[in-house]
A and B are shown apart, each in its own frame.
Chain A
């Protein structure tokens, strides 16, 4: 290990602590701003209906073993018969729904707002850090790392002789960016963490076809093996009672 650098205490007081505090506060601010900007849109009745049908079919699938075979068969036919079952989708409608999704400007607008509320504060903070604090060592991680991490931890310092465990201020910003996620989920509740995953789902779900999930649900309902659980429950009750008695 190379000889220890002597760092000025002013760096701690005016860089390290303010940078971390600002990161936390900006995270909180972003949370509340995105909460304010979130627009409530009236969901389309058809889409809600399809979603509810899928939920019902899923419930039937997970609880299938608790009802008699006859009841299960009746319900399955109700959901998936080829003429008027709830999960059966006529051929022509698939295209229609997708086109409707794309033509809805509200959704694209909402997504853009969410993305902007994510990107703008990050860009601003990064510019701020770059402008004021670029080019000096701000912190030191308490464990040794290999040379490969140099570009990650000493972003903005072009010295190859400094020990790798010293962290430049710009890289401290990145460390904060990733490491504070846990803290945010604690102080802001689950909604903050949920937001990210929901955004991901919306991203991948753009131009997503609800009829596809209907037919997927239908297929999985069709192939399910029904096995009534009640006969086995006598044995289970026997076991439980035996345990109680003994």
Chain B
């Protein structure tokens, strides 16, 4: 699911940092990969939270934990040189955060209801 292949590698500009030497298409592809993996993880995390029966704050804490782990995983996948794949850190950390939250809440509720309240 959501293969972590950052296919297009952009030239990093270390000495001349003011020069924009990345290709927009590859950047978009990388963003898409991040969006997919985070959406997938938020759905899986929602199901896990629901089955374990987390309530209230605990579930959101689980969500933040999962997102943090996925961010770290993506950064590790980029071999800790984020700037050769993305133009700024926020791309990895904050992108797809709130779209994922909605899916997370839905699947959390769904699994929780099926397992626990009836």
Q: Chain A residue with minimal CB distance to B115?
A: A12
B105 touches A182 (CB 8 A): no
B3 to chain A, nearest CB (A): 12
B114 contacts A142, CB within 8 Å?
no
The dominant DSSP class at the A interface is helix
Residues B117 and A7 in contact, CB atoms below 8 Å apart: yes
Q: Tell whether, in the assembled complex, residue A183 and residue B43 are in contact, meaning their CB atoms are under 8 Å apart.
A: yes
Interface residues of A in 209-246 (CB under 8 A from B): 229, 232-233, 235-236, 238-240
Contacts across chains A and B counted by CB atoms under 8 Å? 96
Contact A232 B102 (CB under 8 A): no
Q: Given the known inter-chain contacts A17-B114, A186-B43, A240-B15, please indicate yes or no for A142 contacting B32, CB distance below 8 A.
A: no
Contact residues of B between 52 and 78, Cβ < 8 Å to A? 53-57, 59-60
Indicate whether B39 reaches chain A with its CB closer than 8 angstroms. yes
Q: Taking the nearest CB of chain B, how far is it from the CB of A124, in angstroms?
A: 21
Contact (A181, B99) CB under 8 Å given A143-B57, A143-B59, A143-B60 = yes
Q: What does the 1/0 interface line of A183-221 toward B look like (CB < 8 Å)?
A: 101100010000000000000000000000000000000
Sorting the interface of chain A by its residue count into under 10, 10 to 19, 20 to 34 or 35 or more gives 35 or more
Question: Separation in Å of the A30 CB from the closest CB of chain B?
Answer: 18
Do A182 and B39 form a contact, CB below 8 Å, given A12-B113, A144-B56? yes
Smallest CB gap from B35: residue in A: A185
B14 close to A240 (CB less than 8 A): yes
Contacts of B117 in A (CB 8 A): 4, 7, 139-140
A122-166 interface bits toward B, Cβ cutoff 8 Å, 1 = contact, 0 = none: 000000000000000001111110000000000000000000000
Of the candidates A7, A143, A235, the one whose C-beta lies within 8 Å of that of B55 is A143
Q: List 17 A-B contacts (CB under 8 A).
A: A11-B118, A62-B20, A139-B109, A140-B109, A140-B117, A142-B59, A143-B55, A143-B56, A176-B106, A180-B106, A182-B99, A182-B100, A186-B2, A236-B14, A236-B15, A238-B15, A240-B15
Using a CB–CB distance below 8 Å, which chain B residues touch chain A? Answer: 1-2, 13-16, 19-20, 32, 35-36, 39-40, 42-43, 49-50, 53-57, 59-60, 99-100, 102-103, 105-110, 112-114, 117-118
